[in-house]
Amino acid sequence: MNLLSILLSIVFILNILVAIILIFMERRDASATWAWLLILFFVPLAGFLLYLIFGQNLSRKRLFVWKDLHKIGIEHLIHTQIQAIKDNTFPFQNPDTKKHQSLIYMHLINNDAVLTQDNRVNLFTDGKDKFRSLFRDIESAKDHIHLQYYIFRNDNLGKRLIRTLTRKAMEGVEVRVLFDDLGSRKTSKKPFRQLIEAGGHVEEFFPSSFPFINPRLNYRNHRKLGIIDGKIGYVGGFNVGDEYLGLKSQFGYWRDTHLRIIGTAVHALQTRFILDWNQATTRHPIAYSDRYFPVTPPVGEVTMQIVTSGPDSEWEQIKNGYIKMITSAKKSIYIQTPYFVPDASLLDALRIASLSGVDVRMMIPNKPDHMFVYWATYSYIGELLKAGAKIYLYENGFIHAKTIIVDDEISSVGTANIDVRSFRLNFEVNAFMYHQPTTRQLSAIFQSDLGQSRELTMEEYEQRPLKIRFKESVSRLLSPIL
């Protein structure tokens, strides 16, 4: 046998082994399994390499460990809340929240998402407003500043933020910054040098161990968190970069949704940050201290749960929360998402809701930032149009918000898009809110955004050219692994 024959035989054997792993050991979703099998069949050698990079299963790996977690007292609180809901004795401050106790229970039992009822929430839909507020809170910080972003650019906004953080570190405030290695691939630790010299700490999530090779490339930390003194928390869709201020012509105005939270829910954001931070660092782990979880008097009445998900978990907690919200709808479901690449369960939930007479409305961008995902989105929205849902194309720039509003009663805002990547591959965090005034405020924002949008009708959708239909078909075939 010549060398080429030997290599082809090795590739063939490796493909067979990977196929066996996919079918009999990984127990993936069937659509994802078929997508990988097609790649292995049509591009054998490249397919095998792609699988090594993108096909790992992290669900059996314990990535986030914090030996001091028990000191927060969260286990006892979770057990108490679960038992109270089971016994129908939970002290809901707002009787309307009780209607959604099955959703609350699901997040408690599967995600350790404690229910808090003393929060105050400010909504931001404009990047300038969000960062103006964040800078103000950073300037007022007395003890610590914890920031985590998927994208942290070394542009005007990024440099300004680093300068402010450096000044606070020089004042003696503890500063920690965590960014995702892939999302911030154009940013190294070099721009943070002065911050580190001033005593701040900077870490990357899942960095590449070897140049140009990262076996965990497919699993990214998409969370965006900010915690100031353990009392103020931020969560939502804005990253750090000039485009999020609407300063990039490629996107124009950037429409997103972000929350500023004061109340006990901040402790859950803090816990999530510490877990992520301690996974990323080997030199500066965070040990428990009361100052990270200060006791504060009630400041509001917004009831919420902070829910996280990731590929290390058996359950897709945020997706399950979305489905539970959708199936509970009696009147309306309003969704804003930059990408719509659902699995069968979520797509069926939305179709059934629409076919049942629920007013289902979805708003997506009128321009792409990821081409394959954009065309996959277009293929799936046709399914909703057929079921009677209304689809709106946002035309005033780019909409990046991740918002679900049901019956003007409950809502979810966070980092998770409605796509397979957010549900299975990315580490995400969302706030599920059981508070009518906040939800109605989000609903009013949605109605206002309709004035900047155009409805996509079934007639227009069916008239799209063959070239676009081909792009949709290819993208949809790859959608389980996009």
Tokens of 79: 């057990």
Output the CA torsion 394→395→396→397 (10° steps).
Answer: 90
Give the CA distances from residue 166 to residues 45, 85, 319, 325, in Å, rounded to whole numbers and listed in that order.
47, 46, 38, 42
Catalytic residue among 229, 343, 419, 449: 229
229 tagged catalytic: yes
> Which is it for the CA torsion 38, 40, 44, 46, positive or negative?
positive
CA distances from 288 to 169, 246, 296 (A): 20, 39, 18
Nearest to 139 by CA among 114, 109, 173: 173
Number of H helices, E strands in the chain: 16, 18
Q: Is 224 a catalytic residue?
A: yes
Location of structure tokens 């440099």: 159
Q: Which of 222, 231, 258, 319 is catalytic?
A: 222
Phi-psi region of 323 (alpha: psi -120 to 50; beta: other; left: phi over 0): alpha
E-only strand ranges, 385-468:
390-394, 398-399, 403-406, 410-414, 418-419, 428-434, 453-456
Instruction: Examine the residue annotation and report whether 146 is marked as an active-site residue of this protein.
Output: no
- In the residue annotation, 400 being an active-site residue is answered as yes
CA distance 415 to 222: 7
Q: Are 12 and 6 in contact (CB under 8 A)?
A: no
Exposure string of 374-400, with b = 16+ CB inside 10 Å and e = fewer, is: bbbbbbbbbbbbebbbbbbbbeebbbb
Rounded to 5 degrees, what are φ and ψ at 89? -120, 15
Residue in 86, 81, 19, 106 with CA at minimum distance from that of residue 55: 19
User: Exposed, middle or buried, 194 (CB in 10 Å: 0-12/13-18/19+)?
Assistant: middle
Choice among 107, 402, 435, 471 that is catalytic: 402
| CB contact at 8 A, 143 and 229 | yes
Query: Residue 315 gets which letter from DSSP?
Result: S
Q: Which of 224, 319, 324, 435 is catalytic?
A: 224
The single residue of 100, 144, 319, 400 carrying the catalytic annotation is 400
**Which H helix or E strand runs over 335?**
strand 332-336
Query: Cα–Cα distances in Å, from 70 out to 51, 73, 417?
Result: 37, 6, 31
Catalytic residues: 222, 224, 229, 400, 402, 407
